[in-house]
Each structure stands twice: as C-alpha cells, then as structure tokens.
Structure 1
Amino acid sequence: MRKYYYYTVLFFSFMVSYSQNFQGVAYYESKTAANFDFDRGRDIPEDMKKQMEERMKRMLEKTFILTFNSSEANYLEEEKLETPGQEGGRRMFGFMGDSKYYKNILENRYVNQREVFGKVFLIKDTLPKLTWKLESETKKIGNYTCYKASAVKSVDKLDFRSMRPPRRPDNSKDADTTKTSLLDEVTMPKEITIVAWYTPEIPVNMGPDEYNGLPGLILEVNADRTTILCSKIILNPSHKEDIKEPTKGKEVSQQEFNEILTAKMKEMEENFRNGGGRRDGGGRPGRF
C-alpha cells in the first residue's frame, strides 16, 4: 500500500512539473482578402492606386509567433526588415501600430500593448468567450489530425479585417457627400462565423490571436475574410522563451481604447479635409 501511494505521488509530481515546464512555439501565417474601393468618387491616378494596393497587401499578410505553455501565451508579429517605403503600409490606418499580446487562460484575461501615433496603450480586458460547436469532420494540417469547431462572433467595428466598401449602383462613381469620415464610408457585418481546426494531439487550451477554448491547440482559423494557418510547431524547444505580460502604456479597457481610436481617426479625417494631413497617416496626428 505504501509503495502504491509512493508511486501515485511521484506520478502526479511528475505531471505537475511537466505541465509547468512544457512550452510550445507555433508559427501562423495570417492573410486577409480585402477589396477596398480606393477610387470611390475620387480621381486617383492608377500608379497611386497600385501603390495603395501593395501597401494593403503587406498590411494584410503577416506572420505571427505564438509562444505558449498550458496557461499563458504571447502572440507577436514576426519581426522583418522593411525596405524603404514599406513602412507606409503600416501607417495607412492609425490603429495599425505595433502590438504585444498576452493572454492568460486560467485567469480569463488578456493584455494588449498597442502603439498608436507614438502613444502606448495597455489594453486590459477579459478574453472573448465563444460558444464552440464541436463537429466530427477532420482533416490533416501537417502531421496533425485536426477536428472542426465553429462559433458565431460579434464584430468589433474597428476590426479592419471585416471592413467592406459601401454598396453603390453599378457603373456609378458618385460619392455620397454625407459620408465624410473613413469610418462612415465602410460597412461592417454585425456577426461572423468562425471555423477553427484544433488538434487534441497537443492538449492545450490555446490558439492564435484571441482564439482559445477548444480541447487542443488551434492550428487554423477562418474568420470572415481572414485565414490564420499554422505553418510550423516546435514543442519543448531547447531554448525556452519567457512568456511576458506587457506593462508599459496608459491602462484602458478595450471599449475605452476603441472610443479613443474612433475619435482620433475622425480627427485625422478632419485634418485631411482641411489640408492639414494625408489620409495615409503621413500628417501630424495631433495629441491624445
């Protein structure tokens, strides 16, 4: 009896130690299909439109690295050297500043450090909760067998990945003069369907970006026009990275940050109309 008790304690001690030391690194390719009508009611030269399209493409195709253990994760954009002029894609919209995203599954919260026009914000809020429907369909992603799950999600009005150009009659380029703000010119769905593919072979409640809540690591997410696909996984790397919670910036909730950003974008549009700046963010944005 004593020997059984000893081995039981030893087993659970090993499992706790393994859980604490376990770490994985997953690389995700994120692509968003967007069709912005740059020439809506404006006489924009073809070379400028092509330049804007290239900037949009760079902005909508990125690589992210998810560093995770059984309870925490960092989700960061992979750093790449930019050639002269590429930074314009990042500056096309004010809300496209650098991001340092941390989430804690056990405590059901996230911290997102965002830089907007030189000012750093520390967004702290609870993790979005999705009601997943587990399905029986499977497919292979790399060497892993993945299962399908789906959920319906409300759309953040500032999520550029779901922005759509306004509808208008065919062959008409007449601009609606009542739509004076960039936010007024785009349309957004209220809800979108999320399809995720997760693998129980890596039994952690983790996934890219804000996604989690499934009995296995999420390797693919299809959210409206955005696809996030895992391209490489390293389990228990020889060199473990520290999973850090960002601490710099003005602390705000997600709603407070959205309100600040909306006001800032409208201010930029006003400056643009008054000749005080460019719509791509090149002009002075003013002060927060």
Structure 2
Amino acid sequence: MGAEFFGNDVMPTRDVESGYASGSSSDSALPEVYFTKPHLKFLNQQLQKLGPEAILQWCLISLPNLFQTTAFGLTGLVTLDMLSKINSAKDSPQVDVMFLDTLHHFQETMDLVDKVKRRYPRVNLHIYKPQDVDTAAEFEAKHGERLWETTPDLYDWIAKVEPAQRAYAELQVKAVLTGRRRSQGGKRGDLDIIEVDDAGLIKVNPLANWSFKQVQEYIKENSVPYNELLDRGYKSIGDWHSTQPVKDGEDERSGRWRGQAKTECGIHNPRSKYAQYLREQELKRQDEALIQVLQNRLTIEA
C-alpha cells in the first residue's frame, strides 16, 4: 500500500468520470507525503511481517525523495548492498546516500567510505560536514577544544544535527532509510519499521528485526566491504572520542558514550530538543550581554 498524498494549497484536478486525481498536476500543486496514525499503524503491522528486501522494494515504489542516511555501519552496508541488487539494471534509479562527516571519524571509517565508492560506483554519495569548517583543526579553532566534553549538546548540534537538517533541506528529503535495529538495545529496543519524526520526516528501519549475527552473516556471504574496526571488538562505530570496543555479552552500542546516560548521537533525537537548547543558549547569551552592559555603566558612573 502506498503513502497517502494531500495537496498543500491547490486541490489536484480530477477526472469526473474516473474519480481519480490527475497525474498531470503542476509542480506547484505537488503534495507532501503524509500518513494518518491508523494508516501508519497498519503499514507497520504489515511491513513487520516482511524481510528487509521486501521492505526496501515497498519503499522504492511508495516513498518519493527517498534517501539512505548512514555512517557505514554494518546494517547500513547491508541496506546499501541490498539496494544495489534490487536496482541492478544499468538504467535503474539508485537511492542517494547521505554521510555526515563530523571531522572526528576514525581513519578506518574514512577508508571504508572510499571502498564503498569503488564497490558501488553508481551510488550518488552526499557528504555533509559541520558548517564553515573542513578539518578537525578548523573545527577546534572555531568551536574550542574537546567540545564533545565541555558542551556535548552543542557538539551534537554542530557536528551532526545541523548538517543533517541542512542536508534534508538542500536535497529536499522526504524519507530516509536508517540502519537502526531493535537488537542494538537502548532506546532502539521498540523500533517500528516506519517512524515519522516531529518535523514530518519519514524514517524507515528496514532491518529493524535483524540480529547482529544476521547482519554479520549477510556481510560475509555477500563479501560486502566493512569497517576494519569490527574485527577489533567494535560493534557500533561513531566518532573516535566516543567509541570503544564492546565486551562479550554487552549490547552492541554499549561502547558508544560509555559511562554516559546518552545513547543517541542527536540525529535521531526529537528536533524540538535542539530547538529548545539553542533558544536557551541564546537567552543565556543575551543575559550575559545585558549584565556586561550594566557592569560597564556602573563602572563609568563610579
């Protein structure tokens, strides 16, 4: 079953006899993708019964402006490989891929990006970095040393959330494929196949039902390139400063932000959280500026 479509300002013209909306509507009348709650619940119930390949095929025929967002973890690599097989014909459209280069990835991760480009040359890869910087040194010069420790929410915004939102806007993204799975633990334990975030972005988790073992087996059986760090005990790989190897029996993502309460990097948190944070920071800056003005005035009067 496809997505439901509703016009923004202008109702599409209708064929009186057929009762169906015309497919020749002007671009200005093209609708957004929209799911009612009952429809979303129904889709999740149905897609839950399907394997990842079938879910991906449904996405390809149902969701316009579909992209894959990935840091090239194992699950994202499986998704990428499955899509390459579904769209194996030379003239078949490919799903564009978005990668957020935080400037703090392991070198092994950046090496993997190059391997993926060679393995899947037809895939269009969009790389987004923190705004106005190109290197870790430039990031540090602009935002301070070890920002991920001093102000972690600000780091998440600058390195991940803002670049992601900029990518969604510039690429006109309506739906994304993610690599999240229930077996990763934490807040991901009750993932649906399809989610809609607080900004209306549709997020599809095609491998939500798979275990880490199933993902590993697919990678091995299909000779998919993967991050060398996985052979050194890492199961979930993010920035070098917040990623450690995982011990036997631990959740996959237990090596991320070890010792901290957080379990997500920011791009899968509600966007309203960061809007509130930025508002609080602006109010704090305004208060500090006002205090400085008053102190200066008192000094002059004295």
TM-score, length-scaled by structure 2: 0.27
Bigger share in helix: 2
Higher RCO (CA-CA < 8 Å; seq separation 6+): 1
TM-score, length-scaled by structure 1: 0.27
Bigger share in strand: 1
